[in-house]
Structure 1
Amino acid sequence: MELYTNLRAGEKGAWLSIIAYLFLSSIKLTIGYFGDSEALKADGLNNTTDIIASIAVLIGLRISQRPPDLNHPYGHLRAETIASMIASFIMMMVGLQVLLSSVMNLWNPVRQSPSTLTAVVAIGSAFVMYAVYRYNLSLAKKINSSAVKAAAYDNRSDALVSIGTAIGIFGAIIGYPIIDTLTALVIGIIIIKTAIEIFWESVQTLTDSFDIEDTETLSVLIENVDGVIDLVDFKGRTHGNVHFIDVTVTVNPYLNVWESHQITEKIDSTVKRFNPFCTVLVHIEPHEIPTAVEEDYHF
């Protein structure tokens, strides 16, 4: 129940991003056009694709809330990861478009300098997107959502892009119009870089990659659980905001079922103290005991 409550809470971050991008993109494209700023128009175009990306995240969060069924025994949690990947594709397309437009403008430079209003809009946009970034990052950590975290990183990238846009515009105003176009070029590169980072993280999740440091830490914690003799196998994978942990441990072969079950409960509570967003499956195996000491383990 708590899982689906967290997913619903994640929708707030997606909606906040959508509203912010709708507002900012309309202002940037309008002011950028009338204020003769290629950088601000590129930034506004970036925000329009962010709307689509945020909608994809919202849809992914909605699908993730569907309960398990016969075809999806683990639920639909990876839908938000797929949504993050779709968002990265959209960002990549826009980044390439901005790069192409910037290169064309370098070959055919515009001599007219942008207005001061375009710089003011860029600075104001940076403050707005940074505030959205802080909110979504805090929300992502609270509910452990990869999709909301991807949205937060996109928000941060947009804030940095807007700062760069303002710098480029000011440079153009003081007599170097080409700086505006060069800034648009840098914006395209930043958009592509962010898209690649989000895509790579999504691929890692969908291919069942698991953090090495978490694996090492959890392995040590499990090995130190009272009753565990040896940790034979450890596997971890991520579905949305839930980590599925599969472990195989050996215990005293002469324990009864209840005593073995108590060990699995201890392992489960130990893992969840480290990360509450974990579902743990423990397989118990009898530990091989040398014949010479076998009698010492009888109860």
Structure 2
Amino acid sequence: MELYTNLRQGEKGAWLSIATYLILSSVKLTIGYIGTSEALKADGLNNTTDIIASIAVLIGLRIAQRPPDSNHQYGHLRAETVASLVASFIMLIVGLQVLIASLQGLWEPSGTTPSLLTAFVAIGSAAVMYVVYRYNLALAKKIRSAAVKAAAYDNRSDALVSIGTAIGIFGAIFGFPIIDTLTALVVAFLIIKTAVEIFWEAVQSLTDAFDIDEVETLSVLIRNVSGVIELLDFKGRAHGNMYFIDITVTVDPYLNVYESHRITEEIEHTIMRENRFCQVLVHIEPHIKELPPTSKSQSPTT
């Protein structure tokens, strides 16, 4: 099945992120301690959370590839959503740790100035993460993977964080050491913000939320299918990268079974042209016109 093939290809993006974060976090934490930069150390800790998050995504992609079984008749596609939920909690904990350490730095400033090397490390890290972001984004578009797309946006946010880190370090070098600690605060808030966003998206998926704009788009397409008279009901939910859609439409009550079945197939093909990772269930109802109200017959007068 194409969906499972795409999940396997999506592992490439997860492995690339893991390898990149391992290298960058090691370099940032080492140079951050040597060069006495709180902002670079915070950025390095941010990358350690990204390692854990990427591993969680990788595990989720692996489990999601398992075929349906007796206990999971719809498959295991939601495994990557659960993994994202776990990763969001891990990121939140580390973000709070960075926040607490930064606040302590405001009350008890070290008075040290970070070295120029730490700024160059931050700039180099931003460039590397931007390249990884472009790769994962291209991969996500190719295989239409929401998980890899989310990983790509996480790569982009890390590149922006590293740019902000470099700005803070340069400020500290030029005589404003508090800027370095303030930048660490900003990094902490960015980690927490990303964690909350990932958490919210995972919760939306696990509670069967469905994009309103997607409903409106598909509803218009369904109503334009030849033979559909009225769209009575539309329900949709996300199951990993798969959509399960249940709809009820009315058709001419005098159509035979073959003609009605043709309409259901056309609806399925129409929806899958919009998003091929869909499982569509169409329920057909006869379209009953309302009869005009009849006036009461009057008895003839005598």
Fold in common (TM above 0.5): yes
Q: Which shifted more, 133-142 or 34-43?
A: 133-142
2:286 aligned partner, one-letter code: P
| Deviation string, structure 1 residues 29-66 (Cα, Å, up to 9, x no partner) | 11111111111011111111111110000000000001
- Write out aligned runs for 1:135-150 (5 A): 135-150=135-150
Equivalent position of 1:187 in the other structure: 187
Deviating more after overlay: 272-281 vs 1-10: 272-281
Paired residues of 1:81 and 1:202 also in contact (CA < 8 A): yes
* Correspondence 1:175 to 2:175: yes
Kept in 2, the 8 Å contact 1:84–1:150? The answer is: no
2:10 aligns with 10
For 1:197-256, what per-residue CA distance to the aligned partner results, in whole angstroms no more than 9, with x for missing partners?
Answer: 111111111111111111011111101100111111101111111111111111112211
Residue 41 of structure 1 is matched in structure 2 by: 41
Q: Which has the larger radius of gyration?
A: 2
Paired residues for 1:24-173 under 5 Å:
24-173=24-173
**Map of 1:278 onto structure 2:** 278
Q: Deviations over 1:145-201 (max 9, x none)?
A: 232222222211111110011001101111111111110001000111111111111
Q: Output one character per residue of 1:97-123: Cα deviation in whole Å (capped at 9) or x when no partner.
A: 110000001111011101111000000
Does 2:217 match 1:217? yes
- Superposed displacement of residue 19, structure 1: 0.3
Distance of 1:265 and 1:258 partners within structure 2: 11
Alpha-carbon distance between aligned partners in 2 of 1:215 and 1:291, rounded to the nearest angstrom: 31
Q: What fraction of aligned residue pairs are identical, expressed as a percent?
A: 76
Q: Which residue of 2 aligns with 1:295?
A: none
CA distance in 2, matches of 1:49, 1:195: 10
Secondary structure at 1:281 match in 2? strand
Deviation at 1:141, TM superposition (A): 2.9
Q: Which amino acid aligns with 1:276?
A: R
Alpha-carbon shift at residue 289 of structure 1 (Å): 3.9
Distance 1:178 1:290, change over 3 A: closer
Deviation for aligned residue 1:290: 5.3
Q: Which moved more, 1:117-126 or 1:42-51?
A: 42-51
Q: TM-score, normalised by structure 2?
A: 0.94
Structure 1 CA distance for aligned equivalents of residues 142 and 281 of structure 2: 24
Whole-angstrom distance in 2 between the partners of 1:242 and 1:145: 10
Deviating more after overlay: 136-145 vs 82-91: 136-145
Contact in 2 for aligned 1:21/1:50 (Cα 8 Å)? yes
Alignment partners' CA distance in 1, 2:270 and 2:129: 38
Which residue of structure 2 lines up, in the alignment, with residue 296 of structure 1?
A: none
Distance 2:203 2:142 in 1: 23
Determine helix, strand or coil for the equivalent of 1:236: strand
CA distance in 1, matches of 2:291, 2:174: 87
What letter corresponds to residue 231 of structure 1 in structure 2?
Answer: L
Give how far 1:70 is off. 1.5
Q: Root-mean-square deviation (CA), in Å?
A: 1.3
What one-letter code is carried by the residue in structure 1 that aligns with 2:236? G
Change beyond 3 A, Cα 1:144–1:239: farther
Tell me which amino acid in the other structure corresponds to 2:133: Y
Deviates more, 1:48-57 or 1:275-284: 275-284
Structure 2 CA distance for aligned equivalents of residues 254 and 289 of structure 1: 13
CA contact (8 A) 1:102 1:185 kept: yes
Structure 1: how far apart are the matches of 2:262 and 2:22? 54
Q: Indicate whether 1:21 and 2:21 are aligned.
A: yes
How far residue 91 of structure 1 moved from its aligned partner, in angstroms, is 1.2
Match of 2:243 in 1: 243
Structure 2 counterpart SS, 1:261: helix
* Number of residue equivalences: 292
Secondary structure, counterpart of 1:112 in structure 2: coil
Distance 1:290 1:167 in 2: 70
Alignment partner of 2:41: what SS?
helix
For residues 181 and 128 of structure 1, the distance between their equivalents in structure 2, rounded to whole angstroms, comes to: 24
Q: Give the CA deviation at 1:143.
A: 2.6
